[in-house]
Chain A
Amino acid sequence: MSQAIITEQLRREFRVDKEGKRRETFVALDGVNLEVNRGEIFGLLGPNGAGKTTLIKILSTLLSPTSGRAVVGGFDVTSDPYSVRRIINMVSGGEHSGYGILTVRENLWLFSQLYGIPNKIALERIDRLMDIVGLSDRARTKVHKLSTGQRQKMNFIRGFISDPEILFLDEPTLGLDVETSRVIRRYIREWVDDRPDRTVLLTTHYMAEADQLCDRLAIVNQGKILACDTPSALKRRVGQDSVLEIEISAQAGQLQPLAELSAQRGVRRVAISSNGGGTLTHRLSVIVDGDGAIPEVLQFLAQRGAIVTGFKKTEPTLEDVFLELVGRRLTGENGSQVASKG
């Protein structure tokens, strides 16, 4: 079987409390169809609440789907969760997890033994992984004395300790410093390249991480997969379009008319973001059909009284792909407004 993970019409609903005693149904996953090949790093890219973590929870047998089917390593997550657990492991970033009374090494050893790793191999693996992520000097430190970042490094090692066939990484570098994140990304890549049957399913909302690490990506929003392809193929979707990053100085009242920019000829998408707090400086991300539309865009802004204080034309990024597909930026900034054609 060449697919490590298959989902078919996977749906997950939650009953959520609303004002008063009324309860409403929230659809976290809406008919997700996905195929992840063995030996690839597959990324789920989307904003908070898109359904990424819900999908990982279902695939790792922590949560039952409302309907549909999910198969991991050839085993159905609903009817054969025990077989799934034998071949997977998972890491969630941004947590404060760990048995505080045990040392780092004891915590990791415990999990290696739960997976039945022979003691000698387990200890060698623990030492090697601690060395890679820079945690060796904390091996005999009790976990309650670790910083959040150090706990996260330990948690990361725990995910790899069983050398699983399929590894779920939910925002693995969340809250880590740049250098550690870089080391971790490099290790993930090496780990998968080292053996062709290892598979990683990774969620992130860091565009650079997704771009650098993932063989294929699915862009997820509101429980649906909007696109699924390699990062370069996704970026080609924006095609020959130009992406303009324009910094303008304008009063708050002038912003609404600027949304009409999307109606201009040659303009495909416009996203306006500001830092809030009554600031005069705003940022416009504009996707245009070609360079020919640039003068018209600048003229439009000048006519509306917006002063251009910065201008940059960039190559399409995954952020632009997200903007193209969803109609807004993934990296959240306050006061985002969106206008688009069609």
Chain B
Amino acid sequence: MAVGSRSAAECWRTFKLAAWLGWQMESNWADPFLFSIYSIVKPVSHSLILVVMYLVVRGQAAGGGLFAQMYVGNAFFLYVGQVLFGLTWVVIEDREFYQMFKYMYVSTPNIYWYLLGRSFAKMAIATVSVVIVLTFGRVFLRLPIHASTVDLTTFCFSMFFGMVSCIGMGIGLAGVMLVVARHGGHASEAVAGALFLLSGAVFPIDILPRLALYPAIALPTTYWLEGVRRGLLGSGMGQTMAVFSNRELIVVLAMLSLVYLILGTLTFVMCEKTAKARGLIDMHTHH
């Protein structure tokens, strides 16, 4: 029991310090003023691309309806980029650029908690970006987000399980990075791209061909984005998801998130074992 509680304390300590390190690395690279400008400009530019695309394709002003659904989906998809791509990059950066991964590996009871901590910092950064994007949308694009109509329960549960699923996928991909060279980082971009397409981030999944619809409804991110839309805007996007009530949507999302967290963790454990067996924990691939 003593050993168990000591391990839990060590894991928690590792998590906290990794989150602190992650925040320092994300926010400490420039002076605070420059960092503030960057933090606003980057996500706003990201969403303006969508606004311009919408204007060109639809030929009408941005605002409510379909645009609001797209805007919100696109905004929350920032988490996927930060957590998924960010976690895989943590492995590559720590191992090959900072050359610190092996020291972290031998300094912590389990490197898994270090990566979880770093993912928490990524989530914090993504949260800042998402809040900026939504505020910009509310103020300048008149998104129909009103305090009186927000379904906080659906939103909070969707966010919680959505983050669990993102971390699950991110941990799995980080595990894969342990056994591949530096250029393996492109795999996470491919995964993020596939998720953008299949999760219905900016369009309803109804328009996907049937073959793509099956993986789309097996992804927790699809339910998560639908949940945050319903929570913030009061309605979801498309017919496929409309068959679920809010409660059913959360239940399916919770189950899928758990499955993805378990799969991600198992993938990480297997890859860590392989990396240790093949001597890859401290490799420098120079790619």
Which residue of B7, B99, B281 is within 8 Å of A97 (Cβ)?
B99
Q: Does B149 contact A (CB under 8 A)?
A: no
Contact in complex: A85, B108 (CB < 8 Å): yes
Contact in complex: A99, B100 (CB < 8 Å): yes
What CA separation (Å) do A263 and B100 show in the bound complex? Answer: 52
- Measured CB to CB, the closest approach of chain B to A10, in angstroms, equals 14
Q: Does B252 contact A (CB under 8 A)?
A: no
Which residue of B21, B28, B279 is within 8 Å of A63 (Cβ)?
B279
Which residue of A98, A101, A102, A115 is within 8 Å of B107 (Cβ)?
A115
- Measured CB to CB, the closest approach of chain B to A218, in angstroms, equals 21
Which residue of A62, A98, A111 is within 8 Å of B102 (Cβ)?
A62
Q: Of all chain A residues, which has the CB nearest B273?
A: A64
User: Which chain B residues lie closer than 8 Å to A113 at the CB level?
Assistant: 13, 17
What CA separation (Å) do A90 and B20 show in the bound complex? Answer: 23
Which of chain A's residues 35-92 have a Cβ closer than 8 Å to chain B?
Answer: 57, 60-64, 82, 85-86, 88-90, 92
- The A-B contact count (CB < 8 A) is 76
Q: Does A1 contact B (CB under 8 A)?
A: no
User: Which chain B residues lie closer than 8 Å to A253 at the CB level?
Assistant: none
Interface residue tally on B, bucketed by range: 20 to 34
- Measured CB to CB, the closest approach of chain A to B28, in angstroms, equals 5
Contact in complex: A85, B109 (CB < 8 Å): yes
Contact in complex: A90, B24 (CB < 8 Å): no
Contact in complex: B17, A95 (CB < 8 Å): no
What CA separation (Å) do A201 and B9 show in the bound complex? Answer: 29
Which of chain B's residues 93-119 have a Cβ closer than 8 Å to chain A?
Answer: 98-100, 102-110
Q: Does A252 contact B (CB under 8 A)?
A: no
Contact in complex: B103, A90 (CB < 8 Å): yes
Q: Of all chain B residues, which has the CB nearest A155?
A: B103
Q: Does B25 contact A (CB under 8 A)?
A: yes
User: Which chain A residues lie closer than 8 Å to B29 at the CB level?
Assistant: 101
Q: Does A100 contact B (CB under 8 A)?
A: yes
Q: Does B277 contact A (CB under 8 A)?
A: yes
What CA separation (Å) do A70 and B287 show in the bound complex? Answer: 33
Q: Of all chain B residues, which has the CB nearest A97?
A: B99
Q: Does B183 contact A (CB under 8 A)?
A: no
Which residue of A85, A86, A89, A101 is within 8 Å of B25 (Cβ)?
A101
B-contact 0/1 string along A90-110, CB 8 Å cutoff: 101001111111100010001
Interface residue tally on A, bucketed by range: 20 to 34
User: Which chain A residues lie closer than 8 Å to B28 at the CB level?
Assistant: 101-102
- Measured CB to CB, the closest approach of chain B to A74, in angstroms, equals 14
Q: Of all chain A residues, which has the CB nearest B107?
A: A114
Contact in complex: A99, B108 (CB < 8 Å): no
Q: Does A116 contact B (CB under 8 A)?
A: yes
Which of chain A's residues 204-256 have a Cβ closer than 8 Å to chain B?
Answer: none
- Measured CB to CB, the closest approach of chain B to A178, in angstroms, equals 25
Contacts A95-B99, A97-B98; is A114 near B277 (CB within 8 Å)? no
User: Which chain B residues lie closer than 8 Å to A57 at the CB level?
Assistant: 279, 282
Contact in complex: B21, A99 (CB < 8 Å): yes
Q: Does A14 contact B (CB under 8 A)?
A: yes
Q: Does A282 contact B (CB under 8 A)?
A: no
User: Which chain B residues lie closer than 8 Å to A89 at the CB level?
Assistant: 106-107
Which of chain B's residues 1-53 have a Cβ closer than 8 Å to chain A?
Answer: 7, 9-10, 13-14, 17, 20-21, 24-25, 28-29
User: Which chain A residues lie closer than 8 Å to B21 at the CB level?
Assistant: 99, 102, 110
Q: Does A153 contact B (CB under 8 A)?
A: no
Contact in complex: B281, A62 (CB < 8 Å): yes
Contacts A14-B279, A62-B106, A88-B106; is A98 near B17 (CB within 8 Å)? no
Contact in complex: B105, A116 (CB < 8 Å): no
Contacts A82-B7, A97-B100, A116-B13; is A60 near B106 (CB within 8 Å)? yes
Contact in complex: A114, B108 (CB < 8 Å): yes
What CA separation (Å) do A64 and B98 show in the bound complex? Answer: 23
Contacts A100-B98, A114-B13, A116-B13; is A86 near B279 (CB within 8 Å)? no
Contact in complex: A99, B14 (CB < 8 Å): no
User: Which chain B residues lie closer than 8 Å to A100 at the CB level?
Assistant: 98
What CA separation (Å) do A318 and B7 show in the bound complex? Answer: 44
What CA separation (Å) do A271 and B110 show in the bound complex? Answer: 49
What CA separation (Å) do A95 and B100 show in the bound complex? Answer: 10
- Measured CB to CB, the closest approach of chain A to B60, in angstroms, equals 45
User: Which chain A residues lie closer than 8 Å to B98 at the CB level?
Assistant: 97-100
- Measured CB to CB, the closest approach of chain B to A176, in angstroms, equals 17
- Measured CB to CB, the closest approach of chain B to A9, in angstroms, equals 18
- Measured CB to CB, the closest approach of chain B to A60, in angstroms, equals 5
Contacts A64-B277, A82-B110, A85-B109; is A114 near B17 (CB within 8 Å)? yes
Q: Does B142 contact A (CB under 8 A)?
A: no
Binding site for B on A (CB under 8 A): 14, 57, 60-64, 82, 85-86, 88-90, 92, 95-102, 106, 110-111, 113-116, 158, 162
Binding site for A on B (CB under 8 A): 7, 9-10, 13-14, 17, 20-21, 24-25, 28-29, 98-100, 102-110, 276-277, 279, 281-282
Extra contacts, 11 of them, besides A61-B276, A89-B107, A99-B24 (Cβ < 8 A), are A61-B106, A62-B106, A63-B279, A85-B107, A88-B106, A99-B100, A106-B24, A110-B17, A113-B13, A113-B17, A116-B10
Q: Which 4 A-B pairs have the closest CB atoms?
A: A97-B99, A114-B107, A64-B277, A82-B109
What are 9 A-B pairs at a CB distance below 8 A? A62-B281, A90-B102, A90-B103, A97-B98, A97-B99, A98-B98, A102-B28, A114-B107, A115-B107
